[in-house]
């Protein structure tokens, strides 16, 4: 009985040690994917130091000397906070979800490649004025500067994907360099998502032709009652959009980034 008691105690200690080890490992992996919100960061390519502040809601405010540094800092800050989301979105825009999630995403990839979001985005890039193209390139430089700093070690989700796809281990999944095309392609995805009312728009078009009077079609789609509840009343101070006050929010902390000398 004494031996059994010692064995049980040893087993309990072992289980506790293993649990603490797993919790510590998960904490370390998760922590390394968190954004740096104070101090200084050396980022190649900046013309002058830039300040990245975050208000009480975590909304980023960037102060830079020129557009180049502004968009570069924005790319770096975005990557700090949501690189995994950006990586998934990039694979959506290019029809490459199966690289991350396997055969379950093949139908989505086929659909995306059939409608041609990457090709449409490339045509958009070629038609853009130079200043818009430059902004996307500078933004990509900022994202890639963050990727280079991390060396693939970011976010628990990236570690799971690295292990699942065989593209890495606990060090995480290393994404390809970000490009202007990646940003432009997501614009095509958003445009498609905004077309969720396509069926009702086609119905209205056909109904107008059949009924001969748009007012009769409108009776089938009554307008929202102006006295009904709304999420944000128009003109409310600080509400954004039509109700924006134009003032800046308080910053609850800031980090500065600069180019290595």
What is the layout of strands, in order, in the sheet containing 50-55?
A: 39-42, 251-258, 50-55, 60-63
CB 147 within 8 A of CB 179: no
DSSP-derived secondary structure for 165-212: HTS-STT---PPPP-HHHHHHHHHHHHHHTTTTHHHHHHHHHHHHHHS
Is there a domain that residue 204 lies in? yes
- 254 or 113, higher pLDDT: 113
Query: Does residue 129 lie within any of the structural domains?
Result: yes
**CATH code, domain carrying 121:** 1.10.439.10
The pLDDT mean for the chain works out to: 78
Distance (Å, whole) CA 137 – CA 71: 9
Is pLDDT of 253 > 60? no
Give the mean pLDDT of 137-148. 93
Residue 248 has pLDDT above 50, yes or no: no
Q: Rounded distance, CA 90 to CA 99, Å?
A: 11
pLDDT tens by residue, 98-127 = 888 888 889 999 999 999 999 999 999 999
Give the H or E element holding residue 40.
strand 39-42
Domain contains 46 = no
Helices in the chain by DSSP H: which ranges?
Answer: 2-31, 67-94, 98-101, 106-115, 117-127, 130-150, 156-165, 180-193, 198-211, 214-218
Q: What is the pLDDT of residue 201?
A: 85
Q: Is 38 a member of any domain?
A: no
Structural domain boundaries, residue 133: 64-208
């Amino acid at each position: 009985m004494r031996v059994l008691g010692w064995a049980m105690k040893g087993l309990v200690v072992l289980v506790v040690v293993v649990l603490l080890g797993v919790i510590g490992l998960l904490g370390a992996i998760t922590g390394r994917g968190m954004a740096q919100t104070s101090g200084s960061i050396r980022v190649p390519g900046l013309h002058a130091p830039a300040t990245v502040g975050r208000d009480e809601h975590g909304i980023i405010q960037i102060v830079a000397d020129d557009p180049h540094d502004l968009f570069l800092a924005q790319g770096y800050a975005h990557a700090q906070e949501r690189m995994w989301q950006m990586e998934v979105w990039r694979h959506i825009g290019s029809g490459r979800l199966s690289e991350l999630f396997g055969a379950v995403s093949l139908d989505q990839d086929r659909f995306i490649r059939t409608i041609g979001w990457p090709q449409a985005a490339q045509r958009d890039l070629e038609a853009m004025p130079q200043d818009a193209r430059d902004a996307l390139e500078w933004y990509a430089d900022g994202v890639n500067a963050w990727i280079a700093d991390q060396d693939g070690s970011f976010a628990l989700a990236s570690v799971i994907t690295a292990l699942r796809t065989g593209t890495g281990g606990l060090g995480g999944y290393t994404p390809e360099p970000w490009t202007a095309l990646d940003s432009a392609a997501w614009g095509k995805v958003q445009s498609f998502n905004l077309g969720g009312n396509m069926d009702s728009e086609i119905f209205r078009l056909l109904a107008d032709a059949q009924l001969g009077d748009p007012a009769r079609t409108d009776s089938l789609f009554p307008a929202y009652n102006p006295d009904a509840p709304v999420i944000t009343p128009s003109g409310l101070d600080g509400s954004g959009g039509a109700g924006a006050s134009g003032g800046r929010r308080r910053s609850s902390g800031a980090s500065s980034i600069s180019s290595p000398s």
